[in-house]
C-alpha cells in the first residue's frame, strides 16, 4: 500500500450450480492464490457461493441454509489473511430473499450489500426470487452469535489506510440509469467493486467494458468488476468471466473471456483523491452511510501496472497520429482566431532550424491556410548569431522556402557586438550575458518587424522549457501569441514527425527529418569544428525525464518520492540494452534539478503571453497553474534528501 497503491483482484472460480460446499472450497483456493500475489481487495462474482443460475432452487431451504454455512466458513477462513474479500451470496431476511455482496475480513463478515436494481426482462427474471435491496443499513442475525449490517449504504475502510473507501454494487446496478455507485462516490467511496453475472451475447462485451471504463471516469474512482464464468448453467445463457479492473477511465487489466481468468492490478488511491480535490465540481455530500473499519497491515505494493515513460505521448501509433492531428488543429485554430480578432494578415516567426520554431512555422502555415491568407504574409526570419551552425541555418532557409513563407535574414552578430561595447561586455566571456544578449536581440528584431509590417510575433517556446525556465526573460520568453506554450518537448518531436509523415512534399519531408535528428540547442555559444557545442539536455537533463516529472507533479499532484519511484519503474529497462535506461542516481539528480528550476523560475511563467491549451497539463498563469513566484522548493527537496540518505534509491 506504499504511495497509495492498492493491489486488487477480480476472480472467477469454476463453480457447480447449487453446490455451496464445493463452491466454498473453490473460492478458498482462489483466495489463497490472491494472497500469494498479495492482493488486498479480492472480488468474486455475483451469487458465486451458490451459482447465479439456480433459478427456483433459490426458494428452497436446503440451498439457503448451505449457502449461509459456506459463507460463515469462508469468513472464518479469512482470519490471518491481509485482505478484504467480496463474495456473492443469497441471504434471507424477514421473509424476503436478497442477492448480496458479503464483505469478509479477518475472520468476520463485515457487512452485506444487497443488489438494488433487480432485472426482470429478456433472459433475466430475478424479481421472481429476489427483493430490491434496502439502502439504509439494518442489522440482521445470521446466527445467534453473528449479527451484521445489511444495506446499500455501507462503506468499508481499513484503519491503516483511512483514505481508502470501498463500496459495492451488483451487476445490473451499473447498467441502470442511476447506479448506486453514484451515491457511493458522493459519499466518499473511491474504490467500487461490482459482483456480476453478466451473460454473453454478441457485442455485449464492448458495451460492458465501456460501462466500466465510463463509470470509473465519471466517478473518478477505481472499479473492480468480477463476473460469472464457467460452471454456471448453460441452459439458456453462457457466462464468460469477463473480469476487469479500471481506474479513472483507464482499463488496467481485462480478462480473456471464456477462460475463468483472474486479473490483478494496482489502483492508485492517491491519484484518485488528488483528481477529486482538483475537480471542484466533484462534491461529496451523501450522508447516512455506515462506515465499517477493518484492519489491513501496511505493506509495500510491487507494481505490475504499466508506468508510461512518455505520459504525454500515446504509445499506440494510431492513437498517437490522431492525437498529433488534434493538437495541430487546436494550435492552428487558436492562432486563426487571434489573427481574425486582430485583423492581422501578417505573422512574424523566428526560425532557427530547431524543433520548436519548426513546429511554430508549421502551425502558422496551417492557420494562414484556414484563413485563406497568402503564405507570403508569414515573415519567417532567420537570425544567425555566434552559435549558428551551417546545418541549422540551411534547414531553416530550406524549410521557409518549402513552405512558401516570406524569407528574411538578419545577422545579429554586429548588433550584439555594439551592444556588448555599450554595456562593457567582453565578447570572449561566454557567460549568461553573452547568451541572453543574443536572445533578446532576436526578440527585439522580431517585435520591430511585426510593428513595421503590422504583424504579430508568434512564440516558439514549448511547455518543457517554460517548466524549467529554460528561456531568456523578455527574450524568447516573450511573443504576442505562443502556439507551443502547452506542448511538452517530447510531444513536439512527434508533432513534427507526424507532419513529415503526412506531407506530400519529399523535400519538406527530408528537411523535417533532419530537424528531428538535430540535437536540441539554443545555439548561443560558438560551434566546435562547425558542430553544435551547446546541447540543452547535457545542461538541464533529458527532456523525457523532465516531461515525466512535470506530468506527475502537475497532473496528479504527486510528491517527489512517488515521482521518483514511478520513474524507476517507467525507465527500468531499455528495449535495446535490456538494462535500466537511467540509473536511480541519474533520475534523482535530474529530479532535484527539475524541482529547483520549476520553483525558482515561476516568475517567468507568471507573465506568459497567451497560447492555446492542448492537453490536461499546462502552465499558463491564467489557467492551470496559479503558483506564487516566490514559493520555496525546500519541502520537496528535503524529501528527496531523505531518499538519498536512506539508500531507498537502490531498489524499486
pLDDT in tens, 494-506: 999 999 999 999 9
pLDDT at 533 over 80: no
Q: Which three cell numbers stand for residue 357?
A: 520554431
- Residues listed for the chain: 652
Catalytic site residue 589?
A: no
CB 243 within 8 A of CB 262: yes
pLDDT at 651 over 50: no
pLDDT given for residue 371 in this prediction: 97
Catalytic site residue 576?
A: no
Q: Are strands 41-43 and 5-10 parallel, antiparallel or unpaired?
A: parallel
Instruction: In whole angstroms, give the CA distance from residue 29 to residue 542.
Output: 48
Q: How confident is the model at residue 529 (pLDDT cuts 50, 70, 90)?
A: confident
Tens digits of residue pLDDT in 204-222: 999 999 999 999 999 999 9
Which residue of the set 48, 167, 171, 346 is catalytic? 171
Sign of the C-alpha dihedral, residues 565, 566, 571, 575? positive
Instruction: In whole angstroms, give the CA distance from residue 277 to residue 430.
Output: 47
pLDDT at 548 over 50: yes
pLDDT given for residue 299 in this prediction: 84
Residue range 433-454: mean pLDDT, rounded? 97
Q: How confident is the model at residue 576 (pLDDT cuts 50, 70, 90)?
A: low
pLDDT given for residue 65 in this prediction: 97
CB 252 within 8 A of CB 246: yes
pLDDT at 574 over 70: no
Give the percent of the chain with pLDDT over 90.
89
pLDDT given for residue 284 in this prediction: 75
**Can you tell me which residue has the cell 433459478?**
55
Q: How confident is the model at residue 578 (pLDDT cuts 50, 70, 90)?
A: low
Tens digits of residue pLDDT in 105-124: 999 999 999 999 999 999 99
Residue range 311-327: mean pLDDT, rounded? 94
Q: How confident is the model at residue 183 (pLDDT cuts 50, 70, 90)?
A: very high
Q: Which three cell numbers stand for residue 403?
A: 513552405
Q: How confident is the model at residue 643 (pLDDT cuts 50, 70, 90)?
A: confident
| Closest residue by Cα to residue 526 from 629, 387, 347, 621 | 387
Tens digits of residue pLDDT in 594-608: 999 999 999 999 999
Residue range 284-292: mean pLDDT, rounded? 86
CB 461 within 8 A of CB 487: no
Q: How confident is the model at residue 420 (pLDDT cuts 50, 70, 90)?
A: very high
Tens digits of residue pLDDT in 246-257: 999 999 999 999
* Angle formed by the axes of helices 543-554 and 489-502, nearest 10°: 110
pLDDT at 647 over 70: no
**Dihedrals phi, psi of 254, to nearest 5 degrees:** -145, 130
pLDDT at 652 over 50: no
Which residue of the set 115, 581, 604, 613 is catalytic? 115
Q: How confident is the model at residue 321 (pLDDT cuts 50, 70, 90)?
A: very high
Q: Please give the mean pLDDT across all residues of the chain.
A: 94
Alpha helix stretches (DSSP H) within 528-649: 536-540, 543-554, 560-570, 584-600, 602-605, 634-646
Q: Phi/psi class of residue 68: alpha, beta or left (left: φ > 0; alpha: ψ in -120 to 50)?
A: alpha
| Closest residue by Cα to residue 88 from 161, 15, 177, 186 | 15
- The two most distant CA atoms of the chain are separated, in Å, by 101
Catalytic site residue 171?
A: yes
DSSP 113: E
Q: Which three cell numbers stand for residue 615?
A: 492537453
DSSP 4: G
Instruction: Give all domains of the chain, ordered by start, each with its CATH number.
Output: 2-294 (3.60.110.10), 317-650 (3.40.50.620)
pLDDT given for residue 649 in this prediction: 52
Helix (H) or strand (E) holding 525: none
DSSP 451: H
Amino acid at each position: 500500500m506504499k504511495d497509495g497503491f492498492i493491489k486488487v483482484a477480480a476472480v472467477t472460480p469454476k463453480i457447480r450450480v447449487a453446490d455451496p460446499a464445493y463452491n466454498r472450497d473453490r473460492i478458498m483456493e482462489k483466495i489463497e492464490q490472491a494472497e500469494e500475489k498479495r492482493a488486498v481487495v479480492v472480488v468474486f462474482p455475483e451469487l458465486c457461493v451458490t451459482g447465479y443460475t439456480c433459478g427456483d432452487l433459490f426458494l428452497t431451504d436446503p440451498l439457503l441454509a448451505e449457502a449461509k454455512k459456506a459463507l460463515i466458513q469462508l469468513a472464518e477462513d479469512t482470519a490471518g489473511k491481509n485482505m478484504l474479500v467480496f463474495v456473492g451470496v443469497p441471504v434471507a431476511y424477514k421473509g424476503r430473499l436478497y442477492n448480496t455482496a458479503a464483505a469478509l475480513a479477518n475472520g468476520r463478515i463485515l457487512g452485506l450489500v444487497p443488489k438494488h436494481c433487480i432485472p426482470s426482462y429478456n433472459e433475466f427474471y430475478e424479481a421472481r426470487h429476489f427483493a430490491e435491496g434496502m439502502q439504509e443499513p439494518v442489522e440482521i442475525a445470521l446466527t445467534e452469535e453473528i449479527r451484521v449490517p445489511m444495506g446499500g449504504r455501507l462503506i468499508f475502510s481499513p484503519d491503516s489506510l483511512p483514505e481508502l473507501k470501498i463500496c459495492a454494487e451488483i451487476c445490473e446496478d451499473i447498467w441502470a440509469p442511476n447506479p448506486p455507485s453514484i451515491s457511493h462516490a458522493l459519499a466518499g467511496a473511491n474504490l467500487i467493486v461490482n459482483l456480476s453475472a453478466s451473460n454473453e451475447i454478441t457485442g455485449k462485451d464492448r458495451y460492458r467494458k465501456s460501462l466500466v471504463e465510463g463509470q470509473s471516469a465519471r466517478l473518478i474512482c477505481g472499479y473492480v468488476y468480477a463476473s460469472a464464468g464457467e460452471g454456471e448453467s448453460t441452459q439458456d445463457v453462457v457466462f464468460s468471466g469477463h473480469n476487469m479492473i479500471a481506474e479513472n477511465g483507464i482499463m488496467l487489466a481485462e480478462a480473456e473471456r471464456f477462460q475463468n481468468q483472474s486479473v490483478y492490478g494496482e489502483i492508485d488511491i492517491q491519484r484518485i483523491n488528488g483528481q477529486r480535490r482538483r475537480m471542484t465540481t466533484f462534491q461529496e455530500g451523501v450522508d447516512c452511510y455506515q462506515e465499517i473499519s477493518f484492519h489491513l497491515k501496511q505493506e509495500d505494493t510491487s507494481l505490475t501496472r504499466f508506468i508510461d515513460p512518455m505520459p504525454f505521448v500515446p504509445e499506440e501509433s494510431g492513437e498517437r497520429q490522431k492525437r498529433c492531428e488534434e493538437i495541430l488543429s487546436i494550435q492552428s485554430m487558436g492562432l486563426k482566431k487571434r489573427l481574425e480578432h486582430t485583423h492581422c494578415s501578417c505573422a512574424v516567426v523566428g526560425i532557427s532550424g530547431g524543433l520548436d520554431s519548426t513546429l511554430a512555422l508549421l502551425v502558422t502555415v496551417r492557420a494562414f491556410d484556414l484563413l485563406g491568407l497568402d503564405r507570403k504574409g508569414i515573415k519567417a526570419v532567420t537570425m544567425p548569431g555566434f552559435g549558428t551552425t551551417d546545418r541549422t541555418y540551411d534547414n531553416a532557409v530550406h524549410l521557409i522556402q518549402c513552405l512558401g513563407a516570406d524569407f528574411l535574414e538578419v545577422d545579429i552578430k554586429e548588433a550584439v557586438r555594439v551592444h556588448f561595447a555599450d554595456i562593457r561586455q567582453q565578447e570572449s566571456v561566454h557567460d549568461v550575458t553573452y547568451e541572453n544578449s543574443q536572445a533578446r536581440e532576436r526578440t527585439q528584431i522580431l517585435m520591430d518587424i511585426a510593428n513595421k509590417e503590422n504583424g504579430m510575433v508568434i512564440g516558439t517556446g514549448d511547455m518543457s522549457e517554460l517548466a524549467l525556465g529554460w528561456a531568456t526573460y523578455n527574450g524568447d520568453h516573450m511573443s504576442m501569441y505562443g502556439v507551443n506554450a502547452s506542448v511538452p518537448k517530447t510531444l513536439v518531436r512527434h508533432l513534427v514527425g507526424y507532419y513529415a509523415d503526412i506531407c506530400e512534399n519529399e523535400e519538406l519531408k527530408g528537411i523535417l527529418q533532419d530537424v528531428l535528428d538535430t540535437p536540441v540547442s539554443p545555439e548561443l555559444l560558438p560551434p566546435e569544428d562547425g558542430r553544435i557545442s551547446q546541447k540543452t539536455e547535457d545542461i538541464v537533463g533529458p527532456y523525457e525525464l523532465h516531461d515525466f516529472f512535470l506530468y506527475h507533479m502537475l497532473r496528479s499532484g504527486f510528491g517527489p518520492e512517488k515521482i521518483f519511484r514511478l520513474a524507476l519503474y517507467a525507465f527500468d529497462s531499455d528495449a535495446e540494452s535490456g538494462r535500466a535506461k537511467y540509473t536511480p542516481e541519474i533520475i534523482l539528480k535530474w529530479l532535484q534539478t527539475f524541482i529547483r528550476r520549476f520553483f525558482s523560475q515561476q516568475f517567468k511563467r507568471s507573465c506568459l503571453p497567451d497560447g492555446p491549451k492542448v492537453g490536461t497539463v499546462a502552465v499558463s498563469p491564467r489557467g492551470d497553474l496559479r503558483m506564487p513566484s516566490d514559493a520555496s522548493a525546500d519541502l520537496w527537496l528535503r524529501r528527496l534528501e531523505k531518499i538519498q540518505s536512506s539508500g531507498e534509491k537502490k531498489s524499486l
